[in-house]
């Protein structure tokens, strides 16, 4: 008989850094909507640095947690989603691209909710469902998904920085939009095809 997952220590520096990145996302979106690109880019740079730092600290001092594997990509998705919406509202990104990005993430979000519920050992209660110190499923991003996230971050970062750049980078951003559209669809399909993307913890 399988033993229930043990509680893990989720209160550590890598998870704290990830949560600050998650909290920065709405602030960056607000700054984009209110035409403060310099401040928005500054917070975006902070998010980029902590994205690298939290993973390095977790590996260097063996502070990796299952929760970290969930909230780290969640922070990236929050940043990308909020900036995609805000940049589309401002007319910087096309609505069709925003629809592709948001549609893919909405589908993955529904799948994540489903897998969390079916993998949660009994008793299945809302309190246990939202208790992230009790891991039940581990997400393993596919290779194309990692590239896609990187390209999406490059796109929204470049679009955020565009008002501060003297040179005309609109053509480069337009090309990147089509590349991101392709990798977004591809990465979404990869989660359907891959057998290793989600691991149920026994």
Is position 1 within any domain?
no
Q: How many CB atoms lie within 10 A of CB 61?
A: 11
Of the candidate ranges 122-126, 143-147, 173-177, 194-198, the one whose mean pLDDT is the lowest: 194-198
- pLDDT of 107-164, one tens digit each? 888 887 887 887 888 888 888 877 766 766 767 788 999 899 999 999 999 999 999 9
User: Has residue 5 been placed in a domain?
Assistant: no
- Cα dist. 105→31, 53, 112, 148, 161 in Å? 23, 24, 10, 12, 24
pLDDT digits (tens, 9 = 90+) for 66-99: 677 778 888 888 999 999 999 999 999 999 999 9
User: What local confidence, expressed as pLDDT, does residue 135 receive?
Assistant: 66
Other beta carbons within 10 angstroms of residue 123's beta carbon come to 7
CATH code of the domain containing 168: 1.20.120
Predicted pLDDT at 121: 80
Count of the separate structural domains present in the chain: 1
Query: Does 80 fall in a domain?
Result: yes
pTM of the model: 0.79
Convert the pLDDT of each residue in 6-22 to its tens digit: 565 667 888 888 999 99
Residue 136 inside a domain? The answer is: yes
Burial class of residue 7 in the structure, from the number of CB atoms within 10 Å of its CB (0-12 exposed, 13-18 middle, 19+ buried)? exposed
104 contacts 184 by C-beta, under 8 angstroms: yes
pLDDT of residue 35: 95
Distance separating alpha carbons of residues 177 and 194, to the nearest angstrom: 25
Query: What are the backbone angles phi and psi of residue 200, rounded to the nearest 5°?
Result: -80, 125
Which one has a higher pLDDT value, 74 or 41?
41
The answer to the question of residue 2 being in a domain is: no
d(CA 43, CA 45): 5
Inform me whether the pLDDT recorded for 194 exceeds 50: yes
pLDDT of the residue at 6: 57
Q: How many residues does the chain have?
A: 202
pLDDT reported for residue 1: 43
Instruction: Supply the pLDDT for residue 202.
Output: 62
Mean per-residue pLDDT, 181-201 = 84
Q: Which domain holds residue 95?
A: 13-200
78 is a domain residue? yes
């Amino acid at each position: 008989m399988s033993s229930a997952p043990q509680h893990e220590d989720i209160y550590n520096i890598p998870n704290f850094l990830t949560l600050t990145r998650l909290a920065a996302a709405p602030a960056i979106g607000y700054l984009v909507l209110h035409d403060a690109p310099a401040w928005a880019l500054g917070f975006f740079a902070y998010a980029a640095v902590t994205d690298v730092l939290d993973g390095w600290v977790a590996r260097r001092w063996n502070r990796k947690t299952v929760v970290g594997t969930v909230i780290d990509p969640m922070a990236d998705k929050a940043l990308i989603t909020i900036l995609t919406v805000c940049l589309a509202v401002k007319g910087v990104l096309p609505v069709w691209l925003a629809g592709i990005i948001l549609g893919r993430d909405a589908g993955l979000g529904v799948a994540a909710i489903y897998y969390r519920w079916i993998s949660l050992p009994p008793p299945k209660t809302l309190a246990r469902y939202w208790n992230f110190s009790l891991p039940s499923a581990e997400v393993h991003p596919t290779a194309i998904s990692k590239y896609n996230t990187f390209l999406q971050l490059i796109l929204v970062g470049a679009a955020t920085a565009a008002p501060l750049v003297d040179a005309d980078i609109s053509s480069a951003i337009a090309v990147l939009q089509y590349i991101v559209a392709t990798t977004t669809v591809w990465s979404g399909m990869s989660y359907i095809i891959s057998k290793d993307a989600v691991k149920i913890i026994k």
